[in-house]
């Protein structure tokens, strides 16, 4: 019996391929990996955007309503999302508050950095760049609307009974004062920063019942001392 050659070598039809034409498994694996990485980046981006919405909603509540109204139900309503979505990103209120404090600390650090840049631009004579930055930071802060301090006041009030929140700011201030121990402005630099912190907190609580001229005079005396000048302390 003669075997039909076509049965041994069946013709190829459109859409079929020989095993030799198959895609390289390593290429397929690489393509799958690329897709997964793209999906992961997209998921991470969406997660970051959702967390931003949550934090902005929480900040709005703290600024306009106060810490006593900072509940997951209220945050979800302001952020226009489900409570489940909120809890997916922040498993507890404490976790959210710690994130808010970390962002507040970063904001303080940024404001100080901007003050240092401003001091450099105006060629401040203060010997220590951090101290010089504090002076310019306070000047900017003093010119802002006092109502802008509401958020800072609320977040600081919340930290009083939350050790983990408190530790975030304590670490920042510890690093700040460690740097001032070797300040080129000497003890006058430390005195200036302590005085400026007092002015910051007085303004936070709207207790800075002192005239602008008196503030400017006090800043001028402290700056001259931090520049190494021998000046009287009297206003």
**Is 45's pLDDT higher than 80?**
no
- 218 contacts 118 by C-beta, under 8 angstroms: no
**Is 17's pLDDT higher than 50?**
no
Range of the domain at 63: 26-91
- Domain end: 65, 91, 117, which one? 91
Q: Is the domain of 104 the same as that of 220?
A: yes
Which stretches within the chain are classed as H helix?
5-8, 25-64, 72-79, 83-89, 93-121, 129-143, 150-159, 163-180, 187-204, 212-226
Q: Is the domain of 127 the same as that of 225?
A: yes
Is 14 contained in some domain? Answer: no
Measure CA of the first residue to CA of the last residue in the chain; give whole Å.
122
Q: Is the domain of 105 the same as that of 215?
A: yes
Contacts of 34 (CB under 8 A, 6+ apart): none
Counting residues of the chain whose pLDDT is more than 90, the rounded percentage is 66
Q: Give Cα separations from 172 to 54, 100, 108, 166, 210 (angstroms).
A: 24, 15, 9, 10, 29
pLDDT band at residue 116 under the 50/70/90 scheme = very high
Is 17 contained in some domain? Answer: no
Residue 35, domain CATH: 1.10.10.60
**Is 54's pLDDT higher than 90?**
yes
∠ CA 116-118-122, rounded to 5°: 120
Q: Is the domain of 198 the same as that of 105?
A: yes
**Considering the entire predicted model, what is its pTM?**
0.77
Gap between the Cα atoms of 56 and 46, Å rounded: 15
């Amino acid at each position: 019996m003669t075997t039909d050659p076509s049965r041994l070598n069946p013709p190829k039809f459109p859409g079929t391929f020989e095993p030799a034409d198959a895609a390289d498994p390593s290429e397929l694996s690489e393509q799958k990996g690329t897709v997964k990485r793209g999906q992961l980046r997209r998921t991470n981006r969406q997660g970051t955007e959702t967390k931003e919405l949550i934090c902005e909603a929480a900040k709005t509540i703290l600024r306009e309503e106060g810490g006593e109204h900072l509940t997951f139900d209220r945050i979800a309503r302001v952020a226009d999302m489900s409570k489940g979505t909120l809890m997916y990103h922040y498993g507890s209120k404490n976790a959210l508050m710690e994130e808010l404090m970390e962002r507040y600390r970063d904001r303080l650090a940024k404001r100080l950095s901007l003050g240092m840049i401003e001091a450099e631009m105006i060629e401040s004579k203060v010997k220590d760049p951090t101290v010089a930055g504090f002076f310019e930071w306070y000047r900017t802060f003093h010119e802002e609307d006092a109502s802008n301090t509401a958020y800072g006041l609320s977040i600081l009030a919340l930290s009083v009974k939350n050790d983990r929140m408190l530790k975030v700011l304590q670490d920042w201030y510890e690093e700040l004062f460690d740097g001032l121990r070797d300040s080129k402005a000497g003890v006058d630099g430390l005195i200036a920063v302590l005085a400026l912190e007092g002015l910051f907190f007085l303004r936070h609580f709207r207790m800075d019942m002192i005239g602008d001229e008196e503030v400017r005079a006090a800043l001028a005396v402290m700056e001259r001392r931090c520049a190494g000048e021998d000046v009287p302390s009297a206003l």
